[in-house]
């Protein structure tokens, strides 16, 4: 027979062993949880490096065309509030946009208001101011407004769009008040980044034309236009701004150019890009074709300078479906650009990460409206959480876009999430 003390000793030993077992199980679970978390964080870091507020390092993000067609106006209108809301369009790309230190987007429509003109789409675009709210919600910092639709509703398009964007605290390049510069220089984590934006057009004497519409004398100098009839004249138009863009460590140029729905850059684009590379431009971001064109690097004629060229980032937001326009118009690219500045003062592009996007559109029977969502094709676990996706279309979109990325030591694309 055991004594009372022996029974207590046995109980103590049993409790002690159970405690060790529980603690070990907890520790094992904790270690495994940490390892999974770390793996996910490292995968994010492969896209988003360096982090915000890192001295002498910064990340830029650029996306392509943002447009609103009549079908989108219907989809984004809320009857109960009698207002438009575009926030849901950007829900799944929001984290990518916000993570970058400075995010840029091409606004290929106008915010003219509905007092004089009603909201409309092609061929004369006029979108609600709430579109700007959606872009702000997504996390964008800079809006490029130089494109062939900037003058769609006349001078009010320039005046009201500028006023709305500035009122919502966006940086704006491409259109301006007469007193404004043709560019902006932004200090990002100690790096002075100069950005300008130009659209193709025609310049005949003192007259300027967009979409063959003559811009009024009062506003002809309010839009950055290059003459698309000559590469040399186009370069001179842009270079005038570059020469005045002083005290910059790195220069970015948004160009609205190229042939619609063409998957390849044309000769004009290649020649103009080369001249800008020779002039020292670091990054060229293209828009207008509405499909993704090659992302690559080019060398200056003296082989001393290298320029990142994204000939077209495709559509970011639009209603240009595969059925109606081109099988590639639902595809887009987000370009994450890591830059740094050495102690000696030289700045450079360290890495470019291409993140494919696909524009998902589906019918919601509960609301009796279509839903538009920009989907980043980057993470299988994230895609699995999103309803109403077509895996076959996502796979095709990724394949189409990946074929346009010239992967090098400098340029890469996120791993295919379906591998």
Least confident range of 52-56, 95-99, 194-198, 214-218: 52-56
Output the pLDDT for position 52: 58
pLDDT of 12 > 90? The answer is: no
Structural domain includes residue 40: no
| 191 within 8 A of 249, measured Cβ to Cβ | yes
Structural domain includes residue 5: no
Rounded (10°) angle between helices 231-244 and 267-278:
30
CB burial readout 20-47, b (16+ within 10 A) else e: eeeeeeeeeeeeeeeeeeeeeeeeeeeb
Q: Give whole-number Cα distances, 40 to 35, 37, 122, 352, 383, in Å.
A: 9, 5, 42, 20, 15
Structural domain includes residue 185: yes
Least confident range of 75-79, 342-346, 412-416: 342-346
State which residues form the domain around 354.
59-413
pLDDT of 81 > 50? The answer is: yes
For residue 98, what is the enclosing H or E element? helix 94-99
Output the pLDDT for position 44: 44
pLDDT digits (tens, 9 = 90+) for 222-233: 999 999 999 999
Output the pLDDT for position 388: 97
Output the pLDDT for position 30: 34
* Total domains in the fold of the chain: 1
- Helices assigned H by DSSP within 222-264: 231-244
Structural domain includes residue 37: no
Residue 47 confidence class, pLDDT cut points 50, 70, 90: low
Residue 13 confidence class, pLDDT cut points 50, 70, 90: very low
Output the pLDDT for position 49: 55
Output the pLDDT for position 346: 85
pLDDT of 19 > 90? The answer is: no
Which is it for the CA torsion 216, 130, 48, 269, positive or negative? Answer: negative
> Of 358, 319, 374, 362, which is closest to residue 90 (Cα–Cα)?
374
Q: Provide the mean pLDDT of the chain.
A: 89
Residue predicted with more confidence, 235 or 16: 235
3-state secondary structure of 400: helix
**Measured distance CA(283)–CA(180) in Å, rounded:** 23
pLDDT digits (tens, 9 = 90+) for 333-374: 999 999 999 987 889 999 999 999 999 999 999 999 999 999
Query: Which residue's entry shows tokens 């659209």?
Result: 199
Residue 181 confidence class, pLDDT cut points 50, 70, 90: confident
Output the pLDDT for position 345: 81
> Of 183, 188, 192, 185, which is closest to residue 345 (Cα–Cα)?
192
Least confident range of 100-114, 178-192, 378-392: 178-192
DSSP 108: -
Query: What are the structure tokens assigned to 367, written together?
Result: 């609301």
Structural domain includes residue 361: yes
Least confident range of 51-55, 238-242, 380-384, 404-408: 51-55
Structural domain includes residue 10: no
Whole-model pTM: value is: 0.88
Cis omega (within 30 of 0) for bond into 123? yes
pLDDT of 243 > 50? The answer is: yes
pLDDT of 48 > 90? The answer is: no
Query: What are the structure tokens assigned to 411, written together?
Result: 């340029």
pLDDT of 3 > 70? The answer is: no
Q: Give whole-number Cα distances, 181 to 148, 185, 221, in Å.
A: 20, 10, 11
Which DSSP string corresponds to 344-359? TS-EEEEEEEEEEEEE
For residue 158, what is the enclosing H or E element? helix 155-167
3-state secondary structure of 340: strand
Query: What are the structure tokens assigned to 97, written together?
Result: 């946009």
The whole-number average pLDDT for the span 24-53 is 39
**Measured distance CA(376)–CA(359) in Å, rounded:** 9
Output the pLDDT for position 4: 36
CB burial readout 67-79, b (16+ within 10 A) else e: bbbeebbebbbee
pLDDT digits (tens, 9 = 90+) for 265-298: 999 999 999 999 999 999 999 999 999 999 999 9
Residue 323 confidence class, pLDDT cut points 50, 70, 90: confident
Output the pLDDT for position 180: 80
Structural domain includes residue 407: yes
Structural domain includes residue 190: yes
CATH code at 391? 3.60.21
């Amino acid at each position: 027979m055991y004594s009372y003390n022996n029974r207590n000793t046995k109980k103590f030993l049993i409790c002690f062993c159970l405690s060790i077992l529980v603690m070990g199980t907890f520790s094992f679970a904790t270690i495994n949880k940490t390892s999974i978390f770390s793996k996910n964080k490292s995968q994010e870091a492969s896209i988003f490096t360096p982090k915000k507020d890192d001295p002498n390092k910064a990340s830029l993000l650029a996306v392509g065309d943002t447009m609103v067609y009549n079908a989108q106006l219907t989809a984004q209108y809320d009857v109960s509030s009698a207002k438009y809301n575009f926030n849901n369009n950007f829900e799944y790309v929001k984290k990518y946009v916000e993570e970058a230190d400075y995010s840029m987007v091409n606004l290929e429509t106008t915010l003219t208001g509905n007092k004089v003109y009603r909201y409309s789409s092609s061929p004369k675009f006029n979108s609600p101011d709430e579109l700007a709210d959606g872009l702000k919600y997504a996390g964008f910092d800079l809006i490029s407004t130089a494109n062939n639709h900037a003058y769609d509703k006349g001078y009010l398009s320039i005046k009201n769009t500028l006023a709305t964007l500035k009122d919502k605290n966006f940086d704006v390049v491409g259109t301006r008040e007469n007193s404004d510069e043709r560019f902006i220089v932004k200090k990002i984590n100690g790096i002075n980044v100069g950005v300008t934006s130009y659209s193709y057009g025609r310049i005949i004497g003192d007259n300027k034309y967009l979409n063959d519409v003559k811009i009024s004398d009062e506003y002809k100098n309010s839009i950055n236009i290059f003459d698309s009839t000559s590469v040399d004249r186009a370069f001179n138009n842009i270079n005038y701004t570059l020469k005045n863009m002083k005290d910059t460590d790195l220069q970015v140029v948004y160009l609205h150019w190229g042939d619609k729905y063409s998957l390849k850059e044309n000769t004009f684009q290649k020649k103009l890009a080369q001249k800008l590379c020779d002039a020292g431009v670091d990054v060229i971001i293209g828009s207008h074709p509405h499909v993704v064109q090659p992302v690559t690097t080019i060398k200056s004629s003296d082989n001393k300078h290298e320029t990142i060229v994204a000939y077209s980032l495709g559509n970011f937001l639009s209603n240009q479906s595969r059925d109606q326009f081109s099988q590639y118009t639902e595809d887009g690219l987000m370009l994450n650009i890591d830059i740094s500045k050495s102690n000696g003062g030289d700045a450079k592009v360290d890495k470019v990460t291409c993140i494919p996007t696909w524009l998902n559109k589906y019918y919601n029977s509960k609301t009796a409206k279509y839903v538009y969502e920009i989907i980043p094709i980057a993470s299988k676990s994230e895609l699995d959480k999103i309803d109403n996706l077509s895996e076959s279309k996502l796979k095709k979109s990724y394949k189409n876009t990946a074929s346009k990325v010239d992967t090098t030591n400098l340029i890469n694309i996120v791993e295919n999430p379906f591998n």
